[in-house]
Amino acid sequence: MVQGMVGEGVKDVRLVLTDLDDTFLARDKSLPEKNREVLDLLALRGIAFVPCTGRPVAGVPDVLWNHPATHFAVGSNGGVVVDVCTGTIVHRSTMPNDVVCRVYEQVRHLNVTFDAFVRGHVLAERSRYDAMASFGIDEANLNTIRSLREPSDESIPSRLAPFDGVEKVTMYWGDEASRDEVRQVLQTFPEISVTTSHPRNFEFMAAGTSKGSALLWICGHLGCEPTQAVAFGDSANDLPMLVAAGDGVAVANAADEVKEQADHVCGSCDDAGPGVYLRALLG
């Protein structure tokens, strides 16, 4: 990792992928002006911009979705890739419903949420949705999390019945005992990949699914090399994307493990770190 330098080794940049929360968006969920400006530069240079988020793709802000630089959007930590021009899903990686339900049965008694991401929906149980307010999540993140979920009195297994697989499950935990038990349960399922995007959550997808696998799929689809990609992130769920890219860049507010494994570290999300870095890289 190199602090404050740009990726001189990345030639002919074709693709920019970035996490949203606490990376391309500031901590208050606003879009810093210098990040907004660099989108215009990417569009002018013909460089594809890809929001790559743990949110459902419906959670990508309109200002990013509708920008001419944006070609694809990745949601659910790589579980789904959408062509923003047509709104169609072009790639999807899912877990069978029965795998998700088996995990659910082993954690249902714990003080955790169990939010299933499937085809643009985030299914949540109302009692767990309501309990989340007491989990110690900061207000900006809590408001965003709650706004993207669809609470119901029905159980998750019942709500999954009409769907053909689950892209991601997120579990926020309310106490350390629940956290420790969830961690142990998830370790017994080889069919899934486990990560985190927040100090108080676990997320799991189909084994091998990540933001990194989405980056590789998009590169193959566009006919470019991963070495021509620049990626930005702050959390463990961003690491596969940063590792797969030719230049993996951590924002200054990233977790220590992310900064340690990144190629470079840029400014913080509140200081438009990605926008400033890209402007210097692209000239």
Mean pLDDT score of the chain: 96
According to the 3-state scheme, what is the secondary structure of the chain? CEECCCCCCCCCCCEEEECHHHHHCCCCCCCCHHHHHHHHHHHHHCCEEEEECCCCHHHCCHHHHCCCCECEEEEHHHCEEEECCCCEEEEECCECHHHHHHHHHHHCCCCECCEEEECCEEEEEHHHHHHHHHCCCCHHHHHHHHHCCEEECCCHHHHHCCCCCECEEEEEECCHHHHHHHHHHHCCCCCEEEECCCCCEEEEEECCCCHHHHHHHHHHHHCCCHHHEEEEECCHHHHHHHHHCCEEEECCCCCHHHHHHCCEECCCHHHCHHHHHHHHHHC
Q: Mean per-residue pLDDT for 50-59?
A: 97
Domains and their CATH numbers in the chain = 2-93+210-282 (3.40.50.1000), 97-206 (3.30.1240.10)
Backbone phi, psi, residue 181, to 5°: -70, -40
Backbone phi, psi, residue 209, to 5°: -90, 130
pLDDT in tens, 71-91: 999 999 999 999 999 999 999
Q: Is the pLDDT of residue 6 over 70?
A: no
Q: Is the pLDDT of residue 8 over 70?
A: no
pLDDT in tens, 142-172: 999 999 999 999 999 999 999 999 999 999 9
pLDDT of the residue at 283: 86
Using 50, 70 and 90 to split pLDDT, how confident is the model at 278? very high
Angle (nearest 5°) at CA 92 between 45 and 141: 75
List Cα–Cα distances, 134 to 46, 108, 111, 141, in angstroms.
45, 18, 11, 13
Q: Mean per-residue pLDDT for 122-141?
A: 97
